[in-house]
Amino acid sequence: VGVCVCVSESVMEVQSYLIGVIEASVAVLGGEGVAAYGKDIINIILTILHSPNTAAHEDCLRTAGLMAKEIGPDFSGYMPHIWPYLGGYLKDRDRGSTYITAVLATSDVARAIEGRIMSYCDDIVGCLLAALSSPTLESRAKPPTLSCLGDIALGIGSRFTRYADPTMTLLQQATLFDMPLDDSIPAQTMLRNDLWEGILVAYSGVIMGLREAPPVQFANLVKIHMATMLGFIRKISETFVMVDGSPRYGFESVLRASCGLLVNQSRKNQENQENQENKKSTNK
């Protein structure tokens, strides 16, 4: 029995080294190289994910995300094989860093295969919304989960309308969450900044994703949530400056995300106005 345990541990150690090398190789090979060895890479990933070597599973998910970024839409061909494992970790929000890695990999896949992720979206969005509604979700897992919703919205475009209401309602609730402002604790400050940035990225993703939705439907959605979005941006702008007039630490990315949301809203409103004017001209 002792020999078997030793061999098993040796195999797991080799697997961990192997997936580490593959992860580094994917980053170096580029799109054409990864595409050429895609089947071999995915087979190794699946073999390790199917094994009890949970320590290497995060590396496998991260490598899958890198593959998606390198080969783009072609990664959709591997989704039926990788999804049972990726989806399983998305549902297991109490797995800490492994859940976060699964969320980040899902974002990579959504950006890479765009609309081809639609057949998995009921499960993905359901997992993300359930995680964000759970009191047990770690604080550090909330920003990437929020951002992933934005990536899904951008990926599937106007088809995100079926998820828009629950997503926007959850984002509205998230804007009300407050953390103590203690600039003497950088980790706490960065966590708050990451959370706010995640909310803004999700809002922007939904706004941009729905740019092809029927104008009336989009207008009604924005009308309901406009006050919340602008109030949240106002809260951020008021928080940016400390009592002594100096900017708060690490706040630049949050401000950029705020500007991005405002720009996206303005562009969509302008598009709707132009469409209405074109219709009037056509009717004349």
Q: Which of 67-71, 204-208, 223-227, 250-254 has the highest mean pLDDT?
A: 67-71
How would DSSP label each residue in 78-96? GHHHHHHHHHHHHH-GGGT
Q: Which two tokens stand for residue 171?
A: 């984002």
Total residues found in the chain within this entry: 284
How far is 44 from 104, CA to CA, in rounded Å?
20
Lowest mean pLDDT among 5-14, 91-100, 123-132: 5-14
Sequence-ordered strand ranges (E) for 120-230: none
| Predicted local distance difference test score (pLDDT) of residue 278 | 56
Assign 241 to helix, strand or coil. Answer: strand
How far is 43 from 136, CA to CA, in rounded Å?
34
All residues at 6 or more sequence positions from 45 whose CB lies less than 8 Å from its CB, including other chains: 19, 22, 60, 63, 64, 82
How far is 198 from 171, CA to CA, in rounded Å?
10
C-alpha separations of 196 from 22, 137, 155 in Å? 34, 16, 22
| Predicted local distance difference test score (pLDDT) of residue 89 | 96
Q: What is the dihedral of CA 78, 83, 84, 90, to 10 degrees?
A: 160
- Asked if 155 and 109 touch (Cβ cutoff 8 Å), the reply is no
How far is 67 from 102, CA to CA, in rounded Å?
14
pLDDT at 1 over 90: no
The tens digit of pLDDT for each residue in 17-40 reads 899 999 999 989 989 999 999 999
How far is 254 from 269, CA to CA, in rounded Å?
23
| Predicted local distance difference test score (pLDDT) of residue 121 | 97
Give the percent of the chain with pLDDT over 90: 55
Q: Which two tokens stand for residue 251?
A: 């706040």
Q: Which two tokens stand for residue 270?
A: 């302008």
**In which band, very low, low, confident or very high, does the pLDDT at 279 lie, cut at 50, 70 and 90?**
low
Instruction: Tell me the helix, strand and coil percentages in the chain, rounded to 5.
Output: 85, 0, 10
* Single-letter residue type at 223: K
- Asked if 210 and 246 touch (Cβ cutoff 8 Å), the reply is no
